[in-house]
Chain A
Amino acid sequence: MTGRVLVAMSGGVDSSVAAALLVRQGYDVVGVTMKLFEDGAELPDRPCCSLDATSDARRVAEQLGIPHYVLNMVDHFSRDVIADFVAEYARGRTPIPCVRCNTFTKFSDLVAKADGIDAQYVATGHYARAVDGALHRGVDDNKDQSYFLWGINRGVVKRLLLPVGEMTKKVTRALARELQLPRVADKPESQEICFVPGGDYVQILRRELGDAAPALSPGNIVTADGAVIGEHDGFARYTVGQRRGLPGGSADPLYVVALRPATREVVVGPREALLGTTLTVQGVNWLVDAPPRAGDEVQVRVRHRAPLAPATVDRIDGDAVSVSLVSPVSAISPGQSAVFYDGTKVLGGGIID
């Protein structure tokens, strides 16, 4: 017996394989599926739902012979993740709810559950690695999810078991077949935000903010020098770097380069206007004993799947860090995460201001 581990099972291939591998390795595995929001298609007489994903997770757990529980975390998820998601859009920023979910839900609330059942370890199907108490990128560069994990409590890292972080997605799928998990082996990848079915986040904003909210009200599309070139129907529908939904007709394609919530303006410009060489990161969480200091060189990732960009730390002021990039990077968007790396190791990260 190698100890008890609480595995967060989503019903997808990654966490299913993670659970199966841990069973094979001899851990005392307890599977849980977090219920994070109410399913839309409910009947009034039945205030609870049976999501297909939950059923898939339960079937996998049954097959593996491990106990499986559904944990209702709707209240905290709504407070910590959905409310922040809405508030950030209302401020003209582009949030990443997965980061908040990892920080608050999976690796805080769920760890409390693990504590409660005396589970020394917590496992997920993330493509990242925890080695000697440090967090590293997953071996599959294409799938690496370490970018979303910078906010977790440092003390939790040494309790993490991330079995699929050691392999490529292709190997994970092959293992799912080998482990007789055909139900999940060929499930399509879900790239959308779990509580935003169909990717229509504006629908969530309308529900939470109301149609009359400034973020969803008409405003001007302006150039950097103040010329009004059109109108939009809500700045929350726009993200820095976006091309879609802008007036055509100019010689060069236009991009959203900034949002100004105070005046409800969407600022547009040519592709070059998106380039930035400095950024300030707020609410930084460090995952290493000796965080970088001013003058140190680091690598920074400003968007999921963006290449690691060499940078120099200019200033550290509490949990705010300013860095200069060696080469300009396009579309540095407020609300997204900036994550600092040293090779494969995650040093820490924060929210781009």
Chain B
Amino acid sequence: MPQPPIYLDHAATTPVRPEVLEAMLPYFSAKFGNASSTHRWGREARAATDAARERIAACLGAEPDEICLTSGGTEADNLAVLGGWRVQQGLGRPGIVTTPIEHKAVLASAHQAAREGGEERLIAVDASGVINLDSARRHIRDDVAVVSVMWVNNETGVIQPVAELAAMAKAAGAVFHTDAVQAFGKLPVDARSIPFDFLSVSGHKFGAPKSIGAVYVRRGTALAPLFFGGTQDRGRRPGTENVPMAVALATAMELALTEREATCARLRALRDRLQASLLACVPGLVVHGCAPERVPHMLHLSVPGTDSESMLMALDLQGVAASSGSACQSGSVTPSQVLSAMGVAEDLASAAVRMSLGSLTTGEQIDRVVAVFPDVVRSARAMAGSFG
């Protein structure tokens, strides 16, 4: 009887929490109304959406009108980066400043801005995985519309200096966006203490379903919509409100916030144990981004002589679900652009494995991962052998 598989890919997605599912279910059936309708069904849906927006705002230290609900992190990033840039580029600010370690949603939005006449500039990244503030200072000038730097890198888990960057952007008259998809629920995120103008979150990273997210839009910050239609969400995001998903996001955010410190302490202990044990049992194993501050649930590592593809396949066959952090549609794996930007040698950048712990992770699982890991490495080295 094989043992149940182990899910170490919480940074990719998480299961919907039972409390979240329970909270959203009535809005699929009994309370099915359209929040834009005048009648009682409409009012019921409107009340739920309004309440959800208030609850989401409260979780971010924001006002309800600063919350724009989206179909997820990708739309939130597109809306902030491209929508923010399009408003300002006509005002003599063609610049868009970001980093080579952003999520594709931000990078591709910046590329799109460049195709529309924007000037894309990338901030250099230090070997530690933290962006270089001197480089940022050189790039963030008064011709920049938008600065977008993620709060937590989705591969390494390294925390970026968003407070400094937000201040820098503000001084240059640019708007500052941060993709907080991997940060929310792990770090305090408060619009009152850090002057970001836009911030993206994605529900399925912390127990809401896939395809719900939000972008925080600071009052007074102009934004060109991506979609055109009705007046929902102040015209920033037209389309009939997704009431159950709004309720789900609000519920999941509240739970994540309430449990944040306990969760972080628990996951940090497990992650540190996993890291120490793997370092002890695999000579030469490299942990990426461990010197600076890192979120407590992520472990990004490379084993010399392997490649990501072989490692992930060998892990999966041993029942351990991990990721390289940069999977693509066809399922094949390319060298990590994040690690390349950090100056990691190509052989190690092509061998990266991301393990991300979460609600499903137990100490017993960590022990089992450590127990099978030498076998996994042996397998992966054999598979990679022909690719010397």
Interface on A for B, CB 8 Å cutoff?
A: 30, 35, 44-51, 54, 58, 67, 69-72, 75-76, 108-109, 112-113, 115-118
Contact = CB atoms under 8 A, between A and B. Distances in A.
B381 A116 contact: yes
A109 B387 contact: yes
B330 A35 contact: yes
Contacts of A30: 317
B107 interface: yes
B108 interface: yes
Interface stretch (B155-163, B220-228, B269-277, B306-314): B306-314
Contact of A115 (B313, B330, B333, B383): B383
Given A45-B111, A69-B313, A75-B387, A117 B330 contact: no
Contacts of B387: 75-76, 109
A46 B310 contact: no
Interface of B: 104, 107-108, 111, 309-310, 313-314, 316-317, 328-334, 379-387
12 contacts: A45-B104, A46-B329, A54-B330, A67-B317, A69-B313, A70-B332, A71-B309, A76-B387, A113-B383, A113-B386, A116-B314, A117-B379
B334 A115 contact: no
Interface majority SS (helix, strand, loop, mixed), chain A = mixed
A118 B379 contact: yes
A72 B381 contact: no
Given A113-B386, A117-B317, 14 more contacts: A35-B330, A45-B111, A48-B332, A49-B329, A54-B331, A69-B313, A72-B333, A75-B387, A108-B386, A109-B386, A115-B383, A116-B381, A116-B382, A117-B379
A47 B326 CA distance: 11
A48 B379 contact: no
B382 A35 contact: no
A39 to B, nearest CB: 9
Given A67-B316, A71-B309, A116-B310, A58 B331 contact: yes
A54 B29 CA distance: 39
B339 to A, nearest CB: 15
A83 to B, nearest CB: 16
A67 B312 CA distance: 12
A260 B57 CA distance: 77
Main SS of the interface on chain B?
helix
A76 B384 CA distance: 12
A327 to B, nearest CB: 42
Nearest to A72: B332
Contacts of A47: 328, 334
Closest 10 CB pairs of A and B: A116-B383, A48-B328, A116-B382, A112-B386, A70-B331, A72-B332, A70-B332, A50-B329, A50-B330, A116-B379
Contacts, number: 74
B330 A48 contact: yes
Contacts of B314: 116-117
Contact of A45 (B107, B383, B385): B107
Nearest to A114: B383
Contact of B313 (A35, A45, A50, A117): A117
A109 B385 CA distance: 9
Contact of A48 (B111, B316, B329): B329
B293 to A, nearest CB: 30
A45 B108 contact: yes
Contacts of A67: 316-317
Contact of B380 (A50, A109, A116): A116
A214 to B, nearest CB: 33
A35 B329 CA distance: 13
A337 B284 CA distance: 45
Given A54-B330, A72-B334, A117-B314, A112 B383 contact: yes
Nearest to B310: A116
A76 B28 CA distance: 52
B332 A35 contact: yes
A113 B314 CA distance: 10
Nearest to A119: B317
A49 B334 CA distance: 11
A44 B254 CA distance: 39
A350 B155 CA distance: 48
A51 B330 CA distance: 7
Contacts of A54: 330-331
Query: Which one of A30, A75, A116 has the greatest number of beta carbons of chain B within 10 Å?
Result: A116
Given A67-B317, A118-B379, A48 B386 contact: no
Contacts of A72: 309, 332-334
Contacts of B317: 30, 67, 117
Nearest to A44: B111
Contacts of B331: 54, 58, 69-70
Nearest to A43: B108
A116 B309 CA distance: 12
B330 A112 contact: no
Contacts of B329: 46, 48-50
Contacts of B385: 112, 115-116
B310 A113 contact: yes
B313 A76 contact: no
A31 to B, nearest CB: 11
B314 to A, nearest CB: 6
A249 to B, nearest CB: 52
Contacts of A44: 111
Contacts of A117: 313-314, 317, 379, 383
B334 A76 contact: no
Nearest to B383: A116
B382 A71 contact: no
Contacts of A118: 379
Nearest to A113: B383
Nearest to B331: A70
A76 B332 contact: no
A347 B156 CA distance: 53
